[in-house]
């Protein structure tokens, strides 16, 4: 353990552990944990780039601030420099780095994470010993943060995805003992599990097409856990991004917790305010009618021009945090009791809230990087961790809702 990490742990011991027994008042953050580099045992670069990171191969938009990471946490990037000096990235397979991320969560008063588990990646994760998940379990215990599994069914085989989820959940519970972990998130006396993507109206990208198949899967999980459904944004009206078959209304009503996917559904402050009136407030009423917990999703901004060559840079500007804060404030004022933030470490789509480069000179000289000064604001690298901490305080009832962005820097 480095002196810096030791000092951090000493200074933050007074921060209380998060109560894992209930979702009430919680703000949870999506955690991808999908980054690898060749020297971490995986033998490859994953999610940073197509092959070796270079200006032409990057698939990420934000550059993580690595200044606090020790030498044994850094992956050298051949041919990339920052102000002429070697550039580095990190691996989620490094237990020390995952522990550091959770230590940041503790430092900034964040509750915990929804661990993203893609259905198509399950065989590889299990064959590799589920290293990242084990890192998360250890880090949650050390930091006193909660965690829960969130399956993502994107690209799943319509014929097999449901059985894959059932088999994997059984494995996680019986062999990895995730739900026996003292910090595993629970609600209504059961462990929480989330399944993201059912009901989206994009063909076969998010199975199943048959609402009865979805209902059957929900019922299977509910015999074992509290079920959270990551739904289309327009689950309440069965329009736009939601399948239109009326039977899906019953599928959504059966869920214990509804978590509509709002990322990219609006892109300006005016649109955020319209969303509150047109979507959030009716959603809150519908969820209350169904006796469900309603968990809207907020995000700091969006950009994926390195991942999608046709996309424009800085597609949904962060506006110095105002875009992020307005969503949180509106969700609270609309009556939401809990919240999800997308995401902690999603640098691929530019939604990460962890520490990232503030200025262009802080990122590699090669390639395009979206930095926190893109909209003219001079912000510290931890600005969004601080804002997320204030969002959490607002949902905990520790500070009063205020439409103005807190001046925490």
d(CA 77, CA 153): 32
Number of structural domains the chain divides into: 1
d(CA 33, CA 405): 29
Q: Where are the alpha helices (DSSP H) in 241-398?
A: 247-254, 269-275, 281-289, 322-334, 383-396
pLDDT of residue 404 exceeding 90: yes
Q: What is the pLDDT of residue 204?
A: 87
**Mean pLDDT score, 305-327:** 97
Q: What is the pLDDT of residue 8?
A: 47
Binned at pLDDT 50, 70 and 90, residue 317 comes out as very high
pLDDT of residue 14 exceeding 80: no
Rounded alpha-carbon distances, angstroms, from residue 363 to 22, 50, 236, 358: 40, 19, 42, 8
Binned at pLDDT 50, 70 and 90, residue 203 comes out as confident
Judge whether 405 lies within some domain. Answer: no
Q: What is the pLDDT of residue 318?
A: 98
d(CA 303, CA 124): 28
Q: What is the pLDDT of residue 74?
A: 98
Q: What are phi and psi of 324, to 5 degrees?
A: -65, -50
Rounded alpha-carbon distances, angstroms, from residue 101 to 43, 115, 138, 143: 23, 13, 12, 10
Q: What is the pLDDT of residue 332?
A: 98
**Mean pLDDT score, 335-351:** 98
- The tens digit of pLDDT for each residue in 136-153 reads 999 999 999 999 999 999
Instruction: Give the global pTM.
Output: 0.96
Q: Where are the alpha helices (DSSP H) in 161-280?
A: 161-174, 211-222, 247-254, 269-275
Judge whether 1 lies within some domain. Answer: no
Judge whether 406 lies within some domain. Answer: no
pLDDT of residue 1 exceeding 60: no
In this structure, are residues 292 and 335 in contact, taking their beta carbons and an 8 Å threshold? no
Q: What are phi and psi of 225, to 5 degrees?
A: -155, 170
**Mean pLDDT score, 51-71:** 98
Q: The tokens 């894959």 sit on which residue?
A: 164
- Angle formed at CA 355 by CA 354 and CA 360, multiple of 5 degrees: 130
Residue 250, token pair as written in the block: 């019953």
Q: What is the pLDDT of residue 10?
A: 39
Judge whether 408 lies within some domain. Answer: no
Strand residues in 119-236 grouped as ranges (E): 146-152, 186-187, 190-196, 226-231
Judge whether 248 lies within some domain. Answer: yes
Judge whether 103 lies within some domain. Answer: yes
Residue range(s) defining the domain that contains residue 80: 17-396
pLDDT of residue 57 exceeding 90: yes
**Mean pLDDT score, 327-340:** 98
In this structure, are residues 236 and 283 in contact, taking their beta carbons and an 8 Å threshold? yes
How high is the mean pLDDT of the chain? 96
pLDDT of residue 102 exceeding 60: yes
In this structure, are residues 386 and 355 in contact, taking their beta carbons and an 8 Å threshold? no
Closest CA to 145 of 137, 135, 157, 154: 137
Percent of the chain whose pLDDT exceeds 90: 95
pLDDT of residue 13 exceeding 90: no
pLDDT of residue 228 exceeding 70: yes
For 387-407, the DSSP string reads HHHHHHHHHHTSS---SSPP-
Judge whether 8 lies within some domain. Answer: no
In this structure, are residues 259 and 297 in contact, taking their beta carbons and an 8 Å threshold? yes
Closest CA to 386 of 346, 306, 328, 307: 328
Lowest mean pLDDT among 47-51, 178-182, 200-204, 280-284: 200-204
Binned at pLDDT 50, 70 and 90, residue 408 comes out as low
Judge whether 41 lies within some domain. Answer: yes
Binned at pLDDT 50, 70 and 90, residue 3 comes out as very low
pLDDT of residue 11 exceeding 50: no
Q: What is the pLDDT of residue 7?
A: 39
pLDDT of residue 71 exceeding 80: yes
- The tens digit of pLDDT for each residue in 251-273 reads 999 999 999 999 999 999 999 99
Q: At what angle do helices 211-222 and 247-254 cross, to 10 degrees?
A: 10
- Is residue 14 packed enough to be buried (19+ CB in 10 Å), middle (13-18) or exposed (0-12)? exposed
Looking up residue 154, the CATH number of its domain turns out to be: 3.20.20.80
Q: What is the CA radius of gyration of the chain?
A: 20
pLDDT of residue 6 exceeding 90: no
Q: What is the pLDDT of residue 225?
A: 98
**Mean pLDDT score, 59-82:** 98
Residues 6+ apart with CB under 8 A from 262: 233, 275, 296, 297, 298, 299, 327
């Amino acid at each position: 353990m480095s002196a810096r990490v030791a000092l951090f742990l000493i200074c933050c011991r007074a921060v209380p552990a998060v109560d894992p027994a209930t979702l009430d008042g919680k703000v949870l953050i999506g955690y991808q944990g999908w980054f690898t580099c060749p020297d971490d045992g995986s033998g490859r670069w994953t999610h940073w780039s197509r092959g070796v990171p270079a200006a032409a191969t990057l698939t990420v938009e934000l550059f993580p601030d690595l200044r606090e990471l020790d030498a044994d946490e850094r992956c050298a990037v051949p041919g990339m420099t920052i102000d002429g000096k070697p550039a580095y990235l990190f691996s989620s397979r490094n237990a020390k780095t995952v522990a550091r991320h959770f230590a940041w969560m503790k430092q900034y008063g964040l509750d915990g994470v929804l661990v993203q588990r893609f259905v198509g990646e399950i065989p590889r994760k299990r064959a590799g010993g589920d290293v990242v998940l084990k890192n998360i379990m250890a880090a949650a215990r050390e930091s006193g943060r909660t965690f829960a599994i969130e399956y993502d069914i994107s690209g799943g085989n319509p014929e097999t995805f449901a059985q894959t989820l059932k088999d994997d959940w059984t494995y996680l519970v019986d062999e990895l003992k995730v739900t026996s972990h003292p910090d595993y998130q629970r609600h209504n006396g059961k462990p929480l599990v989330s399944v993201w993507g059912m009901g989206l109206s994009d063909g076969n990208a998010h199975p199943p097409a048959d609402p009865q198949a979805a209902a059957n899967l929900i019922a299977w999980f509910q015999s074992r856990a509290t079920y959270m459904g990551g739904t289309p944004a327009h689950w309440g009206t069965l329009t736009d991004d939601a399948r239109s078959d009326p039977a899906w209304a019953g599928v959504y009503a059966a869920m214990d917790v509804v978590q509509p996917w709002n990322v990219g559904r609006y892109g300006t402050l005016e649109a955020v305010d319209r969303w509150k009136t047109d979507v959030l407030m009716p959603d809150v009423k519908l969820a209350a009618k169904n006796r469900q917990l309603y968990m809207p999703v907020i995000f700091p901004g969006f950009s994926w021009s390195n991942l999608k060559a046709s996309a424009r840079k800085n597609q949904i500007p962060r506006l110095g945090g105002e875009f992020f804060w307005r969503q949180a404030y509106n969700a609270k004022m609309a009556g939401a009791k809990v919240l999800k933030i997308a995401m902690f470490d999603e640098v691929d789509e530019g939604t990460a809230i962890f520490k990232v480069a503030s200025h262009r000179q802080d990122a590699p000289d090669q390639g395009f990087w979206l930095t926190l000064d893109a909209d003219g604001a001079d912000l510290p690298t931890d600005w969004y961790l601080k804002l997320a901490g204030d969002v959490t305080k607002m949902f905990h009832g520790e500070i009063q809702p205020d439409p103005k962005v807190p001046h925490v820097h």
